[in-house]
Structure 1
Amino acid sequence: MLNLRWISFFMAVFLWVACGNNNVPDAKVSEKDSAGAAEVQLLGEVKHIVFFGNSLTAGYGLDPSQAFPALIQQRIDSLKLPYLAVNDGLSGETSAGGNTRVEWILKQPVEIFVLELGANDGLRGIPLDETVRNLQSIIDKVKAAYPTAKIVLAGMQVPPNMGKAYSDRFRSLYGELAEKNKAALVPFLLEGVGGIPELNQGDGIHPTAEGHLILAENVWKVLKELL
C-alpha cells in the first residue's frame, strides 16, 4: 500500500504531467568532463557512455554538472577509467520522441547506452504497448548501429491515477525489456529520492543536487559492472 510520502509524490508528478520544457541541448559535456576524457586518453581510446533520457537525465533545474551523468563522470575520472559520459537528456521527452531523436544521437560513438525514457508516456496515459514498441525500437537502433554496445535500462514508476493494472504493468515493462534484450537494469531510478521533499525541487518531482547524488549511486551500482 502506498504511504503518504509516495501519495504526495505521485500527486506532484500527476500535476506536472509533461516534465519540463524542451530547451535542453541534445548533448552536454562539461569542460570538466572533457578534461577528464583528455586525461584518460593517455591510457587509451576513450569510450562513450551515452545517457539518453528526459528531464531526469538532463538535470532539469540544475547546472548540468550537478546531473547524475556528470556525477558518474566524476567517479569514472577518479578511477582513471577510459570512459566519457555524454548527457543526451531532453526535458519533456517521450518514448516516441526518443525513437525519432535517437538516430541523430547515434552519429556519435556508443559503447554503453543508458536508456531512461517512458515516464512521460505514463504520465500522459499513453498505451503501454506503444511505449514498449518505442523503447524496443530505440534498443534495436542502438544494436544495429553498434552491435557490441551494452544497454542499460533505467526503470521508472508512474502514479496510480491510471489504475492499478496500468501502473503495475508500467513498472514491470522495464524488467521484461531488459530480460528480452539481455540488458542491465536499474530497477527504479528514483529509489531513495521520489517522495522525499528535501531531495526534490519545488515541483516535487525533479531531484535537487543532493537527490542527483543518490540517482548517480543507483545507476553506478549497475553501470560499474559493465566498465
Structure 2
Amino acid sequence: MKQFSSNFYMGGKFMVVSVLLIGLLTGCGSNSDKTNEAAKQKREQVPSTPEKEKAKTIVFYGNSLTAGYGVDPSEAFPALVQEKIDSLQLPYKVVNAGLSGETTAGGKSRIDWILRQPVNIFILELGGNDGLRGIPIAETSRNLQAIIDRVREKYPDARIILAGMQVPPNMGRTYATAFRVTFQQLAARNNLVLIPFLLERVGGVSSLNLPDGIHPNPEGHKIVAENVWQVLRELVLSS
C-alpha cells in the first residue's frame, strides 16, 4: 500500500563556491628603460581576476517528504540530490522549502515568500496531504495550477518539475485514480517535467519507512533521491 507524508518543516541546503585569488607581482630593479619595459610586459600578461560565478538555484517546494520529517536534514532526499550535484561540480545549490503539514492551499498562500529568491528549477511536491484529508481533487488541482502560474509569472525561464503523488486504496478506487491522474494532467497541460510517483519503490515498504509507515527512513530517502535524480539529472547537465 502506497502512502504519503502529512508533516513538514523548513530546511535548507548549502553550496560551496570557490574564489580564485590572483596576486599581481611587480618587480623591482634598475631605473633603465629596458628593465621598466620588461616589468610592464610582465604585468600585462597577468590575467585579470575572474568574476565569481553565481550558482543557479533549485527549489524543492513541498511537505514533510521534502523536509525530511524524522531524519537528519542531511539524510533527506533534497540534501542527497545536492550531493549528486556537487559530485559533478555543477553550479547549483538546493533550497529545501519543505514545510510540515503543508497542503496545496498552504503552498499557494506562501509561494510569494519563497519566490523572493532566484529560481532556476522549481520542484513542486505537494498534494499528498490533500489526498490523505480527502480534499476535493478539483481544489487540489486549482491550487497546484495557481502555484505553477505564480512561478512562471515571476520566473518565466524557470523549469518546473511536478512530483506525482498517490493515495492509499482505502481512500476509494475512484478518488485514488482521479488523484493520480490529476498530476499527469497538470504536467501535460503545463508542459512540465513529471516524476510519475515520488515514492516509487518506497511507499508501503515497511523497511524503507519510519514506524509511522508514512515517512521514508534514511534508506527510503536514498531511493526517493534516485527517483528525483532520474528526472533532474538531464536538466542540470544541459543548462
Q: What range is the shorter-chain TM-score in? A: 0.7 to 0.9
Query: Paired residue for 2:122?
Result: 113
Asked whether 1:19 is paired with 2:3, we answer no
| Gap change, CA 1:219 and 1:43, over 3 Å in 2 | farther
- Secondary structure of the residue aligned to 1:34 is coil
Query: Paired residue for 1:34?
Result: 15
Paired residues in the alignment total 206
C-alpha displacement of 1:40: 9.1
Paired with 1:56 and 1:223, the residues of 2 have a C-alpha distance of 17
| Gap change, CA 1:104 and 1:165, over 3 Å in 2 | same
C-alpha displacement of 1:45: 2.0
Q: Which has the larger radius of gyration?
A: 2
Query: Paired residue for 2:70?
Result: 61
Percent identity at matched positions? 59
Query: Paired residue for 1:144?
Result: 153
Paired with 2:229 and 2:19, the residues of 1 have a C-alpha distance of 19
C-alpha displacement of 1:34: 2.9
C-alpha displacement of 1:195: 1.2
Paired with 2:122 and 2:18, the residues of 1 have a C-alpha distance of 22
Q: Is the 8 A contact 1:157 1:167 kept in 2?
A: yes
> Runs of 4+ in structure 1 displaced over 4 angstroms?
40-43
Q: Is the 8 A contact 1:113 1:149 kept in 2?
A: yes
Unaligned runs of 5+ in 2: 21-50
Of 192, 211, 221, 1:202 maps to: 211
> 5 Å matches for 1:1-227?
6=1, 10=3, 19-20=6-7, 24-25=9-10, 27-29=11-13, 33-35=14-16, 38-39=17-18, 44-227=53-236
Name the structure with the higher helix share: 1
C-alpha displacement of 1:44: 2.6
Deviations along 1:158-216, one digit per CA (max 9) or x if unpaired, are 01223211100100111111111111000000001111111100101100111000000
Q: Is the 8 A contact 2:59 2:119 kept in 1?
A: yes
Unaligned runs of 5+ in 1: 1-5
| Gap change, CA 1:92 and 1:45, over 3 Å in 2 | same
Paired with 1:34 and 1:80, the residues of 2 have a C-alpha distance of 11
Question: Which residue identity is paired with 1:28?
Answer: G
Tell me the TM-score normalized by structure 1. Answer: 0.86
Paired with 2:138 and 2:119, the residues of 1 have a C-alpha distance of 27
Q: Is the 8 A contact 1:55 1:91 kept in 2?
A: yes
Query: Paired residue for 1:3?
Result: none
